[in-house]
Amino acid sequence: MNLSKVHQSLVGEAQFRHVQAEQAIFRDLVDTWELVTNFPKDLRARLQKDCPLVIEAELMSSADKSTSKALITLEDGLKIETVLISQNDGRQTVCVSSQVGCPLACEFCATGQNGFSRNLLAAEIVEQVLFWQRYLKKEGLNRVDNVVFMGMGEPLLNYEQVIKALKWLNDPETFNLGARRLSISTVGIPEEIKRLAGEPLQLNLAVSLHFASDLQREHYMPIARKYSLEELMKAVSLYQKKAGRQVMFEYLMIRGINDSDNDAKLLAQLLSGRPLSMVNLIPYNPTGRFLPSTPERVREFKKSLEDLGLKVTKRRSYGGDIAAACGQLAKK
């Protein structure tokens, strides 16, 4: 499927045909033009040939059914992964990829270990959400409630297409997802965070901090050799001030690497005096090289941070059995 081709293929048709096409795709969630019966037969046949609506994907579900993963094949044959997380309260969260692979090469992340192929187009990002919307309809479940840009790739290195996709998801005529239901996670590209601060869209921002010292961060996250923590935190401050939004700092818990009492102290120092900040502790999902912190250590670490005055939450990990958890997505 190539969403961006739909309007192109309808050039010359009356405006209401464009509207009907959008309704068929986003409201009725059809996956074939044959079902768009308010279109004349020959138009349906032409669209079926020019811009088919089928999304080619391989689907996997976790044993407890809470998580599903789809490996989508793009028009050029490249593959990306997208994940659906069905929370206990019935909320449906979709995790989308923003790039094919990732250029960042963080040592703890499977995506980064497999290299980078290309940026995704806004249409290819939106198609991931559409795939799950169709799936939920077939299963008789709720529609998508939240979209997080936490799949493969670095969203802020594909800035224009990501913003375009966010606006599309926000559009009342298509997905109608309020900006507060949209989140992006970034490794922390200072100039792009500043740029984001100027966007009218009030989305949620998460920063993959993971280490509170430059030395450690540089060791495991090559991008940190380019941007110091000072530069990153300055950009985040500006974002917090300008957007007035809380920022979530993601912190991976890797056994014996960044989970000591001293690490907690460094983190608290870095975030002290930043009221619009919270820490989200992420259990490290095995990708081969490291071990996760023990649950006890995570509890103690969380307690130390709270004692030092920080707001802290712990992320529940979903989909580990189908390699659909954070840091495990790959091009296969």
Task: Cite the active site residues.
Answer: 81, 326
Rule CB under 6 A: is residue 257 a binding residue for ligand SAH?
A: no
CB of 289 to ligand SAH, least distance (A): 9
89-118 footprint of ligand SAH as x/- string (CB under 6 A): -------------------xx---------
Judge whether 308 and 300 are in contact, CB under 8 Å. no
3-state secondary structure (DSSP) of residue 283: strand
Would you count residue 326 as binding ligand SAH (CB under 6 A)?
yes
Helices assigned H by DSSP within 83-210: 110-113, 122-138, 159-170, 190-197
Residues in contact with ligand SAH, total (CB under 6 A)? Answer: 16
Site string for ligand SAH, 131-170 (x = CB under 6 A): -------------------x---x----------------
Say whether residue 81 binds ligand SAH (CB under 6 A).
no
Task: State the Cα angle at 79 between 76 and 82, rounded to 5°.
Answer: 130
C-alpha to C-alpha distances, 87 to 48, 55, 173, 317, nearest whole angstrom: 36, 25, 26, 11
Shortest Å, Cβ 326 to ligand SAH: 3
**Interface pick for ligand SAH out of 130, 252, 257, 323 (rule CB under 6 A):** 252
Which residues have CB under 8 Å from 242's CB, separation 6+? Answer: 197, 198
CB of 36 to ligand SAH, least distance (A): 36
- CB closest to ligand SAH, residue no: 327
Minimum CB–partner distance for residue 156 and ligand SAH (Å)? 8
Burial of 261 (0-12, 13-18, 19+ CB in 10 A): exposed
Q: What is the CA radius of gyration of the chain?
A: 21
CA dist 156 → 56, 181, 209, 233 (Å): 27, 18, 15, 16
Which residues between 284 and 313 bind ligand SAH (CB under 6 A)? 284-285, 287
Using CB under 6 A, which of 282, 305, 310, 330 touches ligand SAH?
282
- The answer to whether 186 contacts ligand SAH (rule: CB under 6 A) is yes
CA distance 34 to 190: 48
**Hey, how many other C-beta atoms are within 10 angstroms of the C-beta on 314?**
16
Contact window for ligand SAH (CB under 6 A) among 48-56, 68-76, 163-171, 182-190: 182-190
**Binder among 67, 92, 117, 185 for ligand SAH (CB under 6 A):** 185
Closest CA to 129 of 71, 79, 84, 76: 84
Cα separation, 125 vs 139, whole angstroms:
22
Report the nearest approach of ligand SAH to the CB of residue 266 (Å): 18
Stretch that binds ligand SAH, among 58-66, 129-137, 170-178, 181-189 (CB under 6 A): 181-189
Site map (CB under 6 A) of ligand SAH, residues 197-216, x = contact: -----------x--------
Contacts by 26-31 with C-beta closer than 8 Å and gap 24+?
26/130, 26/173, 26/174, 26/175, 29/130, 29/133, 29/134, 29/137, 31/55, 31/134
The binding site for ligand SAH (CB under 6 A) comprises: 108-109, 150, 154, 185-187, 208, 250, 252, 282, 284-285, 287, 326-327
